Amino acid sequence: MLRDFQLADWFTLGNAFCGSGAVFASLHYMQQGRVGVLLMGMALIPLAFIFDALDGRVARWRNSASTLGRELDSLADVISFGVAPAALAYACGLQGGWDWLVLSYFICCGVSRLARYNVTAEALSADQGKVKYFEGTPIPTSLTLVVVLAVAAAMGDIGADIWWGQWQLGPWQFHPLVLLFALSGSLMISKTLHVPKP
């Protein structure tokens, strides 16, 4: 199967590789407590963003855009900009029961947003072969969440010292910082928010 991949598809796999690495770095941090490993995992997300930007450009340059490439791109984006940011947030201390629900909501919003894009891309292109705008924010905007977490981690403000503290709401703990993930997820699935596509 890999022999049938186009050059752009290999950039997409680079995106997925970086996202997977960030997830593994999160797990390693939770086992060993080495902040350097956590920061290295966070640094993989901007690299995933670069691969994500390049795969489309390479596909257009080589005139090799395909349905397989589009699906592959969405699957890679789910890992790098959905699952990985949530895993990094959990490793940073957003581990309360309410946090789990919000982080799961964030991932589901990302998955839903990508699925909607895949099924509406042709209609949104208006017979011009290119989508003019995104409905809702693109999932790679979650890179900003990772930047916030990276700043907190670099300052030592993770775990019990996570920004904005911790609340006990009923049986579960809640960290207000997780609301950034709720906001990001909600913007992704917005139907009325139109973001021009470069």
- pLDDT tens digit at each of 198 positions of the chain: 666 677 778 889 999 999 999 999 999 999 999 999 999 999 999 999 999 999 877 766 766 666 677 788 899 999 999 999 999 999 999 999 999 999 999 999 999 999 988 887 666 655 555 667 778 899 999 999 999 999 999 999 999 999 999 999 999 999 999 999 999 999 999 988 888 776
CATH number at residue 64: 1.20.120.1760
Q: With CA atoms as reference, report the closest residue to 179 among 108, 113, 101, 91.
A: 101
Q: With CA atoms as reference, report the closest residue to 52 among 4, 2, 107, 9.
A: 9
Distance CA 85, CA 19 (A): 9
User: Which residue reads 């999160």 in tokens?
Assistant: 26
Look at residue 133 in the predicted model and tell me its pLDDT.
74
Expressed as residue numbers, the domain containing 138 is 2-196
Look at residue 27 in the predicted model and tell me its pLDDT.
98
Q: State how many domains the chain has.
A: 1
Q: What angle do CA 11, 16, 17 make, to 5 degrees?
A: 90
Look at residue 134 in the predicted model and tell me its pLDDT.
77
Q: Which two tokens stand for residue 22?
A: 């960030």
